[in-house]
A and B are shown apart, each in its own frame.
Chain A
């Protein structure tokens, strides 16, 4: 993934972040290497490796994965604060998603509004563990984690009560500003981006890259998709 980015090729992804250890869970960054499909974020680059990413097969697979994520969570873009800056939504547009395709799972997921600075909407969580990894390695706090098994997998906060308020989480943490969707939101300064000035309003994600409005400096640049 990093080799491809350095070479100017954008590979769609959600759970990868250049500052953190790769996870390999969203599977969007799958590429074809010698007929084998692998996740490019966990695959070490090798000399003379022939990698196919932007081919119809892969793009179709990615579209379906995005549609699975949409069906699994409860994503209502029109009312979501990060609409227009959401990486899941931007990839859906980029991959040409026009409909759900899979029946929504309509899972009941608990929210957490206990924290004075942060609001958690698990309906939008895609279980990428970016917050968990950032909380460990960037913030040294280990606040966020994943629990449960299979379709019951869910985001947890590592406190006695299970509430975010009882953790060391702060709005200034890296983890609070890494969510690729609208699951972890600050309680202050909401709805500041007007339509037209949002991250993916004027250019698609394969040009803009996987950014956040509040995270201007990143090596995670997007590039022209060749």
Chain B
């Protein structure tokens, strides 16, 4: 991508008026084949970023250029929250509405801003967690995050919006993101030599490379915890000559922001990990799927890719393309991510076939999380024994935890697998802790008697998100927030998730409002969460009832 294209993804608040000439120019600068039907989602995102919306005439034009049907373009817009067809206001504010932000005063701030900006040319709404729970209150302004909004500067903030001051002229400090590691470990502090991992696999067979990953005991760090070597091996075994490596940088699980660290600070290692994976399975091309909320990281990642080409980590045998998401949590699910990479709505596909056999464009594909690839780079630089020496017998290695909520030092903590939750709570200065959500909303809510639980692949939730709640918080509010999140992010494909998430919020309302019926409602809720867990098509639906199930367990315990 040329420099000019990178500029459009840099912070800006002025949009160009729609014209086919400028659209054509912009798109041709953004990619060599912007009108191939498979790139249609990326093309829409470029148009959205450049023109601030995708007007109906742009959709029709794009339909003609790509040979797609207008209805399919409209249905992409209806699926991805960040694509809009109405003319942009001067400012589009999206407040992150995770429970952490709610506890930090989101509702009051939201009302204040809404009242202050009444009649102003702006849209104010909320959006699912934007990966900044360690910086409450974060808000996306025209897609770029402000991390320093508080009662002291909200007045200035509103004035800048009202006066339509271009985003480029806003105080730089408001956009600062702190990626400090509160507790370092080998993964975050080792001496990285660019290209050393690639050099170390020279002369090794594919089996030997995969063997080393297996020896290290590396498992997926995105949440599912699937053994990485097994994934690679399966893909490697496929006779198909064309294979792909996909880096899942769609860090959407509320309360998770550890990938943000790697994408900001260690992108070179992630790229090297991908390049090693490519050699291990024989892949010709890689894709990074970056969530739309991390748009601000786009220029730096492009820069890192260019740099990796210069240093020889990437070459003509393996190149990487950066794709953007557009506000759909479900695209973190690997098969939905693959659909999205192909320019479709992010609906998870049926498994089998698994991506390792039939993934991107129908070819064998390895999909790994950002942190997993960063760990691969570590393994081939420091050695697989260095990795496997950390952690426990069943959960090897070390990982980053995103800690947010009621503690003195929210942020990133690297700890060996198997560290007790209580130790992490001590490290982050959590006081009077009532409960902790481990692994994000799809993980589990743990209470003090469970704080000796170890954080590893045998424990609950493997996504590395720790949200701490003290005794002042309402478990019911936490549950409601998570349930609303799943309802909003359900892709709508299967009955139990699409209708179940709605029924769940109806039942929760009844649970709160009709205490006399609580036992019956509680039974109905529990049955529904089990139904969703058992019968849903993908992981989202299977775990969407989890927060409610945790809450009921807690409530029953308390009633006793």
Footprint of B on A, CB under 8 Å?
Answer: 22, 24-28, 30, 37, 39, 42, 44, 61, 64-65, 68-69, 71-72, 101-103, 105, 126-127, 142, 145-153, 156-160, 162
Contacts and interface: CB of A to CB of B under 8 A. Distances in A.
B225 interface: no
B493 A25 contact: yes
B79 to A, nearest CB: 5
A145 B70 CA distance: 12
Given A39-B537, A149-B492, A157 B71 contact: yes
A27 B498 contact: no
28 contacts: A22-B350, A25-B494, A44-B352, A61-B531, A61-B534, A65-B496, A65-B531, A68-B500, A72-B498, A72-B499, A72-B502, A102-B499, A102-B503, A102-B506, A126-B495, A146-B75, A146-B492, A147-B74, A148-B75, A148-B78, A148-B492, A149-B328, A151-B487, A151-B498, A151-B501, A151-B502, A153-B493, A157-B71
B354 to A, nearest CB: 12
Interface of A is mostly: loop
A65 B528 CA distance: 10
B71 A147 contact: yes
A64 B529 CA distance: 11
Contact of B495 (A37, A68, A145, A159): A68
B527 interface: yes
Contacts of B328: 149
B69 A61 contact: no
Interface of B: 60, 69-72, 74-75, 78-79, 328, 345, 350, 352, 487-496, 498-503, 506-507, 510, 524, 527-528, 531, 534-537
Contacts of A102: 499, 503, 506-507
Contacts of B499: 68-69, 71-72, 102, 105, 151
Contact of B535 (A65, A72, A149, A156): A65
B537 A25 contact: yes
A39 B531 CA distance: 13
A27 B155 CA distance: 51
Contacts of A159: 71
A105 B502 contact: yes
A156 B527 CA distance: 33
A37 B487 CA distance: 23
Nearest to B491: A149
Nearest to B74: A147
Given A42-B350, A72-B495, A150-B498, 16 more contacts: A26-B495, A27-B536, A27-B537, A37-B535, A69-B495, A71-B499, A102-B503, A102-B506, A105-B499, A146-B75, A146-B492, A149-B490, A152-B492, A153-B493, A159-B71, A162-B71
A110 to B, nearest CB: 14
B492 A151 contact: yes
B549 to A, nearest CB: 16
A153 B71 contact: no
Contacts of B70: 158, 160
Nearest to A153: B492
Interface of B is mostly: helix
A24 B537 contact: yes
Nearest to A157: B71
B78 A152 contact: yes
Contacts of B488: 150
Contacts of B350: 22, 24, 39, 42
Contacts of B487: 150-151
Contacts of A44: 352
A64 B527 contact: yes
A135 B490 CA distance: 26
Contacts of B491: 149-150
B531 A64 contact: yes
A157 B490 CA distance: 23
A51 B501 CA distance: 28
A24 B527 CA distance: 22
A25 B495 contact: yes
Nearest to A158: B71
A27 B494 contact: yes
A65 B495 contact: yes
Given A151-B487, A157-B71, A162-B71, A68 B496 contact: yes
B79 A148 contact: yes
A39 B351 CA distance: 10
Contacts of A145: 71-72, 75
A2 to B, nearest CB: 15
Nearest to B76: A147
A69 B490 CA distance: 16
A157 B537 CA distance: 25
A153 B531 contact: no
Given A24-B350, A27-B537, A158-B71, A153 B498 contact: yes
B494 A147 contact: no
Q: Which residue among A26, A37, A142, A147 has the maximum number of chain B CB atoms within 10 Å of its CB?
A: A147
